[in-house]
Amino acid sequence: MAKSTIAETGEKPHTLLGADELILNMGPQHPSTHGVLRVKLKLDGERVIGSECMIGYLHRGVEKIAENRSYQQFAPYVDRMDYVAAVSNGLGYCEAVEKLLVVEAPPRAKVIRTILTELQRIASHLLWLGTHALDIGALTPVFYCFREREEILKIFEKYCGARLTTHAFRIGGLQYEAYDTLEKDVERFCKAFESRITQYEDLLTQNRIWLGRTKGVGILKPAEAIALGATGPVLRGSGVKWDIRKAMPYAAYDQYKFEIPTGTTGDTYDRYLVRMEEMRQSRLICLQAIENIPAGPIMAKVGKVLKPPPGEVYHSIEAPKGELGYYVVSDGTVQPYRVRIRPPSFVNLESFDSMVRGHLVADVVAIIGTLDIVLGEVDR
């Protein structure tokens, strides 16, 4: 999209046999466009010579809704953007409004937030791994991934009653105190997860077909990735060491030790390795966090009615898919004047066109998978 759309380029076709180009509409109903993404592919035989992403099939006007809700009322809506990582969405929004209110969540709340968000990252990456492998034709990993994801969702359910759209956090802290066996549950999951992730790696990492399907596919050079605004594992897969958890620590991330994995060539395989390592790192963060959860209140002193002083704030967090930013403008009333959301999936999708050019149709699904987009977030 960034370079040229099909409509814009009126050049003559330069296909292999001088034949006509084939325009293939992939989606919005297609098994591997991860929702309602529609990709218009310009093909020479099976080779992609151009592409155009057509989005908006899931547009719900989330940002507009924010202008007609109070600050607390809008919080559950953000869960519906990246619905496989609802906890992260909520964290970003709550922290943005807290910044606007100039309050800070108590340390206990921060730690619990960190634990849940990291679990959510693992869950989101597990879903990515399963569907990505399924797109490339491996039928089995998806069920193993869901098995582990289920454990995480059970922890969420025990904590706040919801599994998918959790609305786990409140502006100013937490609504609920951690349940009695939270630490034990998280620890049990993390202990078991180590061997499980090795199991997935056994299935895929050294598999020759997997290597053939992912190595050298969808290469994104570091400079290009930065220019296109890619963030998260897509950016790190290209070798750029940028993680908001380290660069601009939020929640309780400054207390824990973890590595930022990066790739070297920026192909699909590198992004796969980066995400696998990120799951391991998230597991380590969780283990460190449950060691020492500070006692104290879970809610900062905020009123029942939130009236932030007039002003504006931008706050971003490292969501599983990349930088999730909230730009909130207050006019001093109970409702935000404007909420602008920077969704990582939407911005990462910009790289799609430059990644698929010259590849085959089979690689298109691999690249959609490796971008790890969620259409709820792309379209909002």
Partner 1 sequence: MQAVIQATLDFLKAYWAPLLCGLVIVAVLPLIAGYIVLVERKLMADMQARLGPMRVGPHGLLQPIADAVKLLIKEDIIPEDADKLVFWLAPVLSVGAALLSLAGLAIGPAFQVAKGINIGILFVVGVSAMGIYGIVLGGWASNSHYSLMGALRSSAQLVSYETAAGMALVSGLLFAGTLNVTSIVEAQRDQGIWFGLLAPVAFFTYLVASIAETNRAPFDLPEAESELVAGYMTEYSGFRWALYFLGEYTNMIVVASVATTLFLGGWLRPFPNTHWLNFLDFFPALMMFLIGVYCVMRAPKQPAKVQTLFMLAVAGLCFVLAFILVAPLLIPIAKPSLAAAVKPFADGILGSFWFLLKVSVYLYFFMWLRFTIPRYRFDQLMRLGWHFLIPLSIINVLVMGIAMIVGSYLHLAGGWLLLVTIPASVLALIVALYILSLEQKSAATEQARAASDSYAG
Contact 319, 92 (CB under 8 A): yes
Which of 1, 54, 334, 361 touches partner 1 (CB under 8 A)?
A: 361
Which of 140, 181, 199, 264 touches partner 1 (CB under 8 A)?
A: 140
Contact 313, 294 (CB under 8 A): no
Contacts with partner 1, 43-62, as mask; x by CB under 8 A: ---x----------------
Span from 160-168, 210-218, 257-265, 337-345 in contact with partner 1 (CB under 8 A): 210-218
Q: In angstroms, give the least distance from the CB of 50 to partner 1.
A: 11
Q: In angstroms, give the least distance from the CB of 217 to partner 1.
A: 9
Distances (CA, A) of 207 to 22, 201, 305: 33, 9, 56
User: Which 187-206 residues touch partner 1, going by CB under 8 A?
Assistant: 203-204
Span from 70-78, 131-139, 245-253, 307-315 in contact with partner 1 (CB under 8 A): 131-139
List of residues 6+ apart from 299 with CB closer than 8 A:
105, 106, 109, 170, 172, 173, 174, 175
Closest CA to 322 of 259, 275, 252, 363: 275
Distances (CA, A) of 6 to 41, 63, 146: 9, 30, 38
d(Cα 202, Cα 195) in Å, to the nearest integer?
Answer: 10
Span from 30-38, 108-116, 227-235, 371-379 in contact with partner 1 (CB under 8 A): 30-38
Judge if the upstream peptide bond of residue 76 is cis by omega within 30 degrees of 0. Answer: no
Contact 341, 321 (CB under 8 A): no
Q: In angstroms, give the least distance from the CB of 45 to partner 1.
A: 8
Q: In angstroms, give the least distance from the CB of 142 to partner 1.
A: 8
Q: In angstroms, give the least distance from the CB of 143 to partner 1.
A: 4
Contact 250, 110 (CB under 8 A): no
Which of 1, 5, 21, 24 touches partner 1 (CB under 8 A)?
A: 24
d(Cα 322, Cα 179) in Å, to the nearest integer?
Answer: 30
* Interface with partner 1, residue 210, by CB under 8 A: yes
* Interface with partner 1, residue 364, by CB under 8 A: yes
Which of 95, 151, 363, 372 touches partner 1 (CB under 8 A)?
A: 363
Site of interaction with partner 1 (CB under 8 A): 14, 22, 24-25, 30-32, 46, 133-140, 143-144, 147, 203-204, 207, 209-210, 212-213, 357-358, 360-365
